[in-house]
């Protein structure tokens, strides 16, 4: 007879209880006391999770082994905890490619990336519970060596805003990392010197914010009087016995000896990556941990461990912000992303060569942590972790809730269009991602929607949605929901740390792609055509044009040259997206030089604009020649307009 899952759980619990009671019965024939029964129940409860998760090893083995081979990832470590116990922990693959060192879940330390933000939130919550930090206070109340700019008078950045990604700082990852842990600058000094623009009033929309969380860590440092890494060691890692976890940079020798290296696939091999260290340790820069230490933390977090402080763990799990009251939102740093009708708290982390995912289902006391030491093909390792978590949850906590019913008569006017994620940088080169990866919404008959660019799954493509309320839609073949606020913003349960904003027609990436394409093609032709034209005139013995006419054509040729080199260089860098990510966060000289090419093109295009006017007023060349030159100038303006819009223009030698 095949047992249903509830029956298997019941049998497992009864069996565990019987095993626990057997020694008591054998020891004495006297009636069992209430204390005896309580002890037996406790033993049964401790043993039940392991029985409930039978087969977990086979599932994880199959999924992770397939991922490593298919996606060219060197190694991984996984830990699963349930009911206050570790029910599974295992390492896969290798931690060091040349040495072929096997991964061990209990001893191999991996960079955690932004998963470490949970430690920062825990530290801040401890001080909040001790009334040393006020979540509603202006952060400038605590800052002494620098202040956050008052961009929105009467709307200060509050402590709580830092912990919910709602402070409103611009996103700017360029140059935040260093390759050498001995060269990491001081946290406070770096925050003061690299304060980003405030691009929206705080507390309005969530936008994933590294600077804000780093600032929260600095407040811990200021208020406690201890260096941030030392505070977390003394008040989080130490009390929980997480001896293989540290925020200290460089790492202590015993931890460094067991640290995995991170890689990206190149050709048939793997290249070790840099860029995991940096001043922003509260965001995860430099933080390392073993998988089993992360399991220890999840047990403490879901179990409201008093060693973290009374009420501290629970405060992280409570909702502190949502962009739409109908959708889940943010705890302190933890993202509410329900799965199978169950509340699920999530956090992931990514640094070059390392990708970690952590998920907790508090009501089931189930926690899953998976980390990889490779980017994988096209950076797929981050999604691989989410996919593993989904498969585990789907297997052991299946969805039993009824499907939401479609609602008719919902007004969908004004929803169709292109949407841009608000994590798009306003000031840095990373804004170029928005040129290629904008979300789109189309309205289908009957009030349903079709979208692209919203799913975190790189293989998802188009998604279909049906209405379940005013401005609220359910995914047809999935669990996600999206909501529209009537103000041009779109929210999704797949990621409560960002919003998508509808674009006006003139901000459409499609329009910009056309402008860019036309500009590049014409300037490439100019690069080849003007030298050919000059040689033809020379061979035919035609009179030499005036000096300024020649200068105008040389400027057009130089603009074509600069554009050709820029596009070719950018295409070469973009051919390996994993390497490009490393280049951006390290802030390489090569990237600065690349952007400077367009800065020079601005100067040569200015000469072209002047030359166009002079060509018509002074009648340089033939009419066809003047028209061709005018078209080239318009193409240069079109190209540079797009380059300026997406922060692709740098100051030469700047």
Q: What is the CATH number of the domain that holds 122?
A: 3.40.710.10
Would the pLDDT of 13 be above 50?
no
249 and 110 fall within a common domain: yes
User: Is residue 527, in this structure, part of any structural domain at all?
Assistant: yes
User: Is residue 424, in this structure, part of any structural domain at all?
Assistant: yes
User: Is residue 403, in this structure, part of any structural domain at all?
Assistant: no
H or E element that contains 472: strand 472-475
User: Is residue 192, in this structure, part of any structural domain at all?
Assistant: yes
pLDDT tens digits for 219-228?
999 999 999 9
User: Is residue 470, in this structure, part of any structural domain at all?
Assistant: yes
Distance CA 615, CA 331 (A): 63
Determine the pLDDT at residue 652: 66
User: Is residue 635, in this structure, part of any structural domain at all?
Assistant: yes
Pair 40, 373: CB distance under 8 Å: no
CB < 8 Å & 24+ apart, contacts of 484-491: 484/415, 485/323, 485/324, 489/205, 489/323, 490/419, 490/439, 490/441, 491/323, 491/324, 491/327
Q: Which one of 454, 478, 503 terminates a domain?
A: 503
Average pLDDT over residues 476-504: 96
Q: Number of structural domains, the chain?
A: 4
Would the pLDDT of 48 be above 60?
no
Range with the lowest mean pLDDT among 72-81, 474-483, 569-578, 638-647? 569-578
320 and 293 fall within a common domain: yes
Would the pLDDT of 120 be above 60?
yes
Distance CA 648, CA 650 (A): 7
pLDDT tens digits for 335-356?
999 999 999 999 999 999 999 9
Sign, CA torsion 327/210/513/573: negative
Distance CA 79, CA 294 (A): 8
Determine the pLDDT at residue 38: 40
483 and 521 fall within a common domain: no
Q: Which one of 453, 487, 503 terminates a domain?
A: 503
378 and 453 fall within a common domain: no
Distance CA 585, CA 278 (A): 10
Average pLDDT over residues 597-619: 96
485 and 515 fall within a common domain: no
DSSP string, 78-147: EEEEETTEEEEEEEEEEEETTTTEEP-TTT-BEE-GGGGHHHHHHHHHHHHHTTSS-TTSBGGGT-SS--
Average pLDDT over residues 257-272: 96
61 and 96 fall within a common domain: yes
Determine the pLDDT at residue 533: 83
499 and 569 fall within a common domain: no
Distance CA 572, CA 580 (A): 10
Looking at every residue in the chain, the average pLDDT score rounds to 91
User: Is residue 453, in this structure, part of any structural domain at all?
Assistant: yes
192 and 280 fall within a common domain: yes
Determine the pLDDT at residue 5: 33
Instruction: Tell me the pLDDT band of 21, cut-offs 50, 70 and 90.
Output: very low
Would the pLDDT of 34 be above 70?
no
Pair 276, 349: CB distance under 8 Å: no
Determine the pLDDT at residue 51: 61
Instruction: Tell me the pLDDT band of 49, cut-offs 50, 70 and 90.
Output: low
Determine the pLDDT at residue 575: 85
265 and 126 fall within a common domain: yes
Determine the pLDDT at residue 281: 96
The residues facing 11 across adjacent strands are none
Pair 240, 295: CB distance under 8 Å: no
Q: Which domain holds residue 425?
A: 417-503
Other CB atoms within 10 Å distance of the CB of residue 42: 11
Determine the pLDDT at residue 406: 94
Q: Which residues, other chains included, contact 155 with Cβ-Cβ below 8 Å and sequence gap of 6+?
A: 201, 202, 203
359 and 428 fall within a common domain: no
41 and 66 fall within a common domain: no
Would the pLDDT of 27 be above 80?
no
Determine the pLDDT at residue 50: 57
Whether the full predicted model's pTM is greater than 0.75, yes or no, is yes
498 and 518 fall within a common domain: no
Would the pLDDT of 3 be above 70?
no
Bridging pattern class, strands 75-82 and 366-372: antiparallel
Range with the lowest mean pLDDT among 148-157, 406-415, 544-553? 544-553
Q: Which one of 503, 527, 544 terminates a domain?
A: 503
Average pLDDT over residues 231-242: 98
User: Is residue 262, in this structure, part of any structural domain at all?
Assistant: yes
């Amino acid at each position: 007879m095949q047992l249903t899952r509830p029956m298997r759980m019941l049998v497992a619990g009864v069996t565990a209880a019987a095993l626990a009671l057997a020694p008591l019965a054998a020891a004495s024939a006297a009636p069992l006391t209430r204390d005896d029964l309580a002890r037996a129940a406790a033993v049964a409860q401790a043993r039940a999770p392991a029985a409930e998760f039978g087969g977990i090893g086979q599932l994880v083995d199959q999924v992770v082994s397939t991922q490593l081979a298919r996606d060219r990832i060197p190694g991984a470590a996984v830990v699963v905890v349930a009911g206050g116990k570790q029910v599974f922990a295992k390492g896969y693959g290798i931690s060091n490619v040349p040495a072929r060192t096997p991964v061990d879940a209990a001893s191999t330390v991996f960079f955690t990336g932004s998963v470490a933000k949970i430690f920062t939130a825990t530290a801040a919550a401890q001080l909040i519970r001790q009334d040393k930090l006020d979540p509603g206070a202006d952060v400038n109340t605590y800052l002494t060596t620098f202040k956050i700019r008052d961009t929105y008078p009467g709307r200060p950045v509050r402590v709580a805003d830092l912990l919910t990604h709602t402070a409103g700082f611009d996103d700017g990852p360029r140059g935040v990392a260093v390759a050498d842990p001995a060269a990491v600058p001081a946290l406070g000094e770096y925050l003061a010197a690299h304060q980003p623009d405030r691009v929206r009033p705080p507390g309005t929309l969530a936008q994933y914010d590294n600077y804000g969380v780093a600032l929260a860590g600095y407040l811990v440092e200021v208020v406690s009087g201890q260096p941030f890494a030392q505070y977390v060691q003394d008040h989080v890692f130490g009390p929980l016995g997480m001896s293989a976890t540290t925020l200290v940079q460089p790492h202590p020798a015993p931890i460094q000896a067991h640290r995995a290296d991170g890689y990206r696939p190149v050709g048939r091999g793997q290249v070790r990556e840099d860029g995991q260290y940096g001043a922003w340790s509260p965001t995860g820069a430099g933080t390392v941990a073993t998988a089993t230490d992360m399991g220890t933390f999840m047990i403490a977090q879901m179990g409201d461990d008093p060693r973290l402080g009374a009420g501290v763990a629970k405060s992280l799990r409570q909702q502190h912000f949502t962009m739409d009251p109908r959708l889940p939102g943010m705890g302190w740093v933890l993202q509410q992303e329900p799965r199978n009708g169950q509340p699920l708290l999530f956090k992931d982390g990514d640094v070059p060569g390392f990708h970690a995912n952590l998920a907790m289902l508090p009501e089931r006391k189930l926690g899953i942590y998976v980390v990889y030491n490779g980017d994988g093909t096209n950076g797929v390792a981050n999604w691989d972790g989410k996919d593993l978590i989904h498969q585990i949850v789907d297997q052991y906590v299946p969805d039993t809730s009824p499907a939401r019913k479609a609602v008719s008569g919902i007004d969908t006017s004004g929803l169709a269009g292109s949407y841009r994620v608000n994590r798009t940088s306003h000031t840095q080169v990373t804004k170029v991602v928005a040129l290629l990866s904008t979300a789109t919404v189309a309205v289908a008959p009957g009030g349903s929607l079709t979208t692209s660019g919203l799913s975190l799954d790189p293989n998802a493509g188009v998604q279909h949605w049906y209405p379940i309320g005013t401005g609220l839609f359910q995914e047809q073949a999935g669990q996600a929901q999206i909501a529209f606020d009537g103000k041009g913003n779109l929210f999704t349960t797949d990621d409560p740390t960002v919003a998508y904003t509808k674009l006006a027609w003139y901000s459409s990436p499609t329009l910009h792609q056309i402008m860019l394409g036309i500009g590049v093609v014409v300037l490439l032709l100019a690069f080849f055509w003007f030298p050919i034209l000059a040689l033809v005139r020379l061979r035919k013995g035609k009179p030499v044009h005036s000096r300024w006419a020649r200068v105008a054509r040389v400027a057009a040729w130089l603009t074509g040259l600069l554009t050709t080199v820029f596009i070719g260089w950018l295409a070469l860098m973009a051919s390996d997206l994993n390497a490009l990510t490393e280049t951006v966060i390290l802030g390489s000289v090569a990237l600065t030089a690349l952007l400077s090419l367009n800065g020079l093109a601005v100067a040569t295009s200015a000469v072209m604009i002047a030359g166009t006017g002079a060509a018509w007023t002074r009648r340089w060349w033939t009419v066809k020649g003047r028209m061709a030159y005018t078209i080239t100038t318009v193409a240069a303006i079109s190209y540079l307009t797009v380059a300026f819009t997406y922060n692709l223009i740098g100051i030469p030698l700047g």
